[in-house]
Homo-oligomer: A and B are copies of this chain.
């Protein structure tokens, strides 16, 4: 997608200062080995166990000694060796997060919520994209496990959650993120995609639209299937008279895919839809731009509704009507769930929400 830069820097790199010139640094050139507890103990005149105690249970140490140790720590610029700590205690401050695509705002907005929750416990995330590839997913999961992460948040690449199950069976806390799978022994968190899609199409129907297109994501993805089910439900359910449904399956949940899909749709259908439901906001953005290119206005000629409610959705020239997923909250709760050792596992499913903005409206005048 992005062009791959060649090995040499395309910029105008400026050579750095030559090594070896005098008065480089304020002392300390000699790449001194990092000080260890041993050094701190020596300087403070105590044992290493005591140093460890002021680090981990300061209340057990007399304040006089504590102060002395803290002084030594300060003076030596001591930073605890996390690897040793992790090895001994079995605990590292990491949570592994493997999502389909770091570039997708749905996941980055969720990551914001994850990070916020993680920081409360002094933890950080290792973030990785699986690119929806099961092999990459497996490799990343292995790496997470090897590094002794405290838990794993995973958006499964496929419908196969075997890797996650095995991980969980080995004792690793795992939460499936944006997955409707409900394997036993693993918590999961998601939004009800089917309901969301239903709400979207019902909104279009309520506005009087009877020629409706659905620009869906890759049909192999669970999200796509669920949303399609919701669409069909809405259309057939209420026996609202004749509704024409046009389906387009896109290769990706991206704006360019939405753009191209819309063009294809227009080329294919004799009578164009008056309402379009896009399986996510990015697709909607692309579709709207394609619509404008051929001289159709939104919502004057065609109504468009998205899915997700990414940060930008409400702040564009024609603010997007969409189905809101509370990404930030989802991320926050995913972490919460990960550390909820209160026994059983849970499957949380958040309700999506219709957010009506400017991109949808009544069917234009020359209706049937």
Contacts and interface: CB of A to CB of B under 8 A. Distances in A.
Given A81-B146, A115-B128, A127-B125, A10 B316 contact: no
A150 B201 CA distance: 50
B11 A349 contact: yes
A121 to B, nearest CB: 12
B113 A24 contact: no
Contacts of A122: 143
Interface stretch (A14-22, A151-159, A219-227): A14-22
Contacts of A94: 126, 147
Contacts of A255: 311-312, 315
A10 B350 contact: yes
Interface in A1-56: 2-5, 7, 9-19, 24-26, 28, 31-32, 34
Interface string A250-270: 000001100100000000000
Nearest to A166: B77
Contact of A15 (B16, B19, B286, B346): B346
A40 to B, nearest CB: 14
A298 B317 CA distance: 9
Contacts of A28: 169-170
A291 B318 CA distance: 11
Interface stretch (A67-75, A241-249, A327-335): A327-335
Given A2-B328, A319-B289, A16 B83 contact: no
Contacts of A5: 326, 329, 332-333
A316 B316 contact: yes
Contacts of A292: 317-318
Interface in A251-302: 255-256, 259, 282, 285-286, 288-289, 291-292, 298
Given A2-B328, A147-B93, A318-B317, A12 B351 contact: yes
Interface string A332-354: 11001000000111111111000
A285 B311 CA distance: 11
* Best-surrounded residue of A13, A317, A329, A343 (most CB of chain B within 10 A): A317
B184 A24 contact: yes
A115 B362 CA distance: 45
B115 A124 contact: no
Given A25-B185, A77-B170, A343-B19, A111 B102 contact: yes
A233 interface: no
Interface of A: 2-5, 7, 9-19, 24-26, 28, 31-32, 34, 77, 79-84, 86-87, 92-94, 102-103, 105, 108-109, 111-113, 115, 122, 124-129, 140, 142-143, 145-148, 169-171, 182, 184-185, 187, 189, 255-256, 259, 282, 285-286, 288-289, 291-292, 298, 311-312, 315-319, 326, 328-329, 332-333, 336, 343-351
18 contacts: A10-B329, A11-B350, A13-B347, A16-B346, A17-B344, A25-B184, A34-B170, A81-B87, A83-B87, A94-B147, A102-B108, A111-B127, A122-B143, A255-B312, A282-B312, A285-B315, A285-B316, A292-B317
